[in-house]
Amino acid sequence: MDFRRLFRLSATGLTAAVLLVSGCTSGGSSSGGASPESGAPAELKKFYGQKLGWRECGVPGFQCATMKAPLDYDKPNGTEIKLAVARKKATGPGKRLGSLQVNPGGPGGSAIDYLQGYAGIGYPAPVRARYDMVAMDPRGVARSAPVECFTGPEMDAYTQVDQTPDDMAERDLLAASYKKLAQGCEKRAAEVLPHVSTVEAARDMDIFRAVVGDKKLMYVGASYGTFLGATYAELFPTRVGRLVLDGAMDPSLPAAELNRDQTAGFETAFQAFAADCVKQPDCPLGSGSPADAGRRMKDFFNDLDAKPIPTGEERELGESLATMGVINAMYDESGWPGLRDSLRSAMDGDGSGLLALADSYYEREGDGSYTNLMYANAAVNCLDLPAGFTRPAEVQKALPSFEKASPVFGTGFAWASLNCAYWPAKATGTPHRIEAKGAPPILVVGTTRDPATPYKWAQSLAEQLSSGVLLTYDGDGHTAYGRGSDCVDTAINTYLLEGTPPKNGKKC
């Protein structure tokens, strides 16, 4: 299971991940407490000074705890929110360097699942030897006051709505589905919905830094986790230790431009897949050029739009689910052979393979339920930035630019940008440059053919940050750390262990 497929369209879910942790059990010890350098304002002292009751929680070697934070930082004496945290202690040898917080992105990804399923066991051994590996599910996510919106059957219906409307009736149905999502979230999560912004999550991270006893934040954030890390640096530049921002987002862009850039990113990834596919004897998209393969892919989507195919269960495979299945495979080139198989089967009338890929993308469980990742994804995105488009007519006008960015995916991506138009909680963030003046060197990592966070975003963020250092990976897939490049891994490990970043502009 790949925990690195992380940043998702604002209208969809997040990453495919297995819930590896069971409910926490009682027992264990208390530890932590705010350091004198925490700099907490008086009204937040009780949060910065809290002690965590660490306990075993179902996965050998890991401990869990519950941390408290104000639901509304403007009302610190009001309602409190409970945030789930976890850790794996440094294994040694070598002097402990503190705690390394990790976040997999999303927004809406469970950092605890990422810690227990990948980072705590899969990060390079020298890093795990010197750091306590720690994670916090951000507010609104997984175990931390999760945003809930739909029942399983309601979510099934939502995922099958036509994302490429051909007429006014289909356009109205799509807008109605976005309204229904917003209404469901407001009904089931009204209290937390206005308080799941990235700024609030970053402030929670600073409390967590303090209660585990660290003077500075050590952090690795992937995908959306780079925006979370950059926001932390903007709020607390003097508390930054060593920050790795891998698969970077550009905080200066408005929502519509972010979505259009991501559209182009997925087209770049698809062209890389197509170029590989047409060289294979089993390519279902033919043996011509990548452009020919793209046209055949688009024709296949159109065929499914007109007539869905069976999958072996009640749900048929239409264009929307098939598109999500293909998109899912764009996050890592290791998924390309499986995508070829699924496409070939679908073109022969069996949609089960692409449906499985779509279900993985949406995190649909075997019993028909869903995790909350899609709901948290929308909730955070719709708070962080004003809606990309506020009414269908604006999408219609923008369609040519999206279709130019991606002939294969452009139409669906454009309409997906409408989902925040009906959101019940008003956006609290705005696009802006993040400079984080006063912070030590911050390492920004970009992959040249990253589908979800285009390389130019990493270039932009590194330029914005007053102490940004850019590390480039010339490759495919989403994010770079731990993907097999010794050059990338050595540079990041050296930075985390010794504090020495690579030369700005280094390429691997």
Q: Which residues are catalytic?
A: 223, 450, 478
Residue with the two structure tokens 């239409």: 318
Within a 10 A sphere around the Cβ of 488, how many other Cβ atoms? 25
Distance (Å, whole) CA 233 – CA 230: 5
CA distances from 498 to 230, 241, 501 (A): 21, 11, 9
Distance (Å, whole) CA 92 – CA 482: 20
Within a 10 A sphere around the Cβ of 97, how many other Cβ atoms? 20
SS3 of 405-472: the string is HCCCCHHHHHHHCCHHHHCCCCCCCCCCCCCCCCCCCEEEEEEEECCCCCHHHHHHHHHHCCCEEEEE
Give buried/exposed letters for 66-95 (b at 16+ CB in 10 A, else e).
ebebbbebeebeeeebebbbbbbbbeeeee
Amino acid at 297: M
> Among 55, 76, 75, 58, which Cα is nearest to 66's?
55
> CB–CB of 223/6 below 8 Å?
yes
